[in-house]
Amino acid sequence: MHKSIKRSIPVALLSILLISEPAAAKTNNNQNQFDRTFALSASIRPSFEAKSLDELLLSCNGKGAEHVIRLFKRGVEDLPMRCGSDSWGFRHIVKKGRWNSDFERMMVQTTASGEWRAGHGFILKDGTCPPKDIFKVIFNYGAHNGNGIKPQGVITAYHVTGKFNSGAERCLIS
């Protein structure tokens, strides 16, 4: 690949391209390929600029649920997090006591390089065998209750502890 083209690929997109490689590993049942791909994708982090809780709360102050306060990147796509309400979006996450810079960093990583699962959102996995879900960002590409806010965006996000991917391939033990 020409150097100037290689440098123009966004880091998050490169991460997605690397994560897509395990499909080949699953068909070959080659655990080493999966391990190498996961290690490569996990080592590439999207750029991250944390916003303080106070800054984000101020950004939502007096604004409606539809107001976008944060955009997460997935390749060239912008994924909005809106102020929302007590049941979805930023206000919901804050109400649950989850928001801090580490939590925001996990949201950035999950939306940029996590697996997309329709009906579930973005799921980040660890490097164990079989892989465990470690963080989820529930995202709605559709309109919220048909009100014209489309996409609704981030509904919620949370850490997952100890849950195996139900569809995970069995690992080869050598």
Q: Describe the strand order of the beta sheet including 132-140 as a list of residue ranges.
A: 115-117, 121-125, 132-140, 153-164
pTM: 0.67
In the chain the first and final C-alpha atoms are separated, in Å, by 36
Query: What average pLDDT is seen over the chain?
Result: 74
Contact criterion met (CB below 8 Å) for 137 and 121: yes
For 31, the 3-state DSSP assignment is helix
159-170 residue pLDDT tens:
998 656 555 455
73-93 residue pLDDT tens:
999 999 999 999 999 999 999
Q: What are phi and psi of 107, to 5 degrees?
A: -65, -40
6-51 residue pLDDT tens:
333 343 333 333 333 333 333 333 333 333 333 334 434 455 667 7
Treating both helix axes as pointing N-terminal to C-terminal, what angle do 11-19 and 31-43 enclose, rounded to 10 degrees? 170
* Contacts (Cβ under 8 Å, ≥6 apart) of 141: 150, 151, 152
For 128, the 3-state DSSP assignment is coil
Would you kindly state where each structural domain of the chain is located, as residue ranges? 50-164
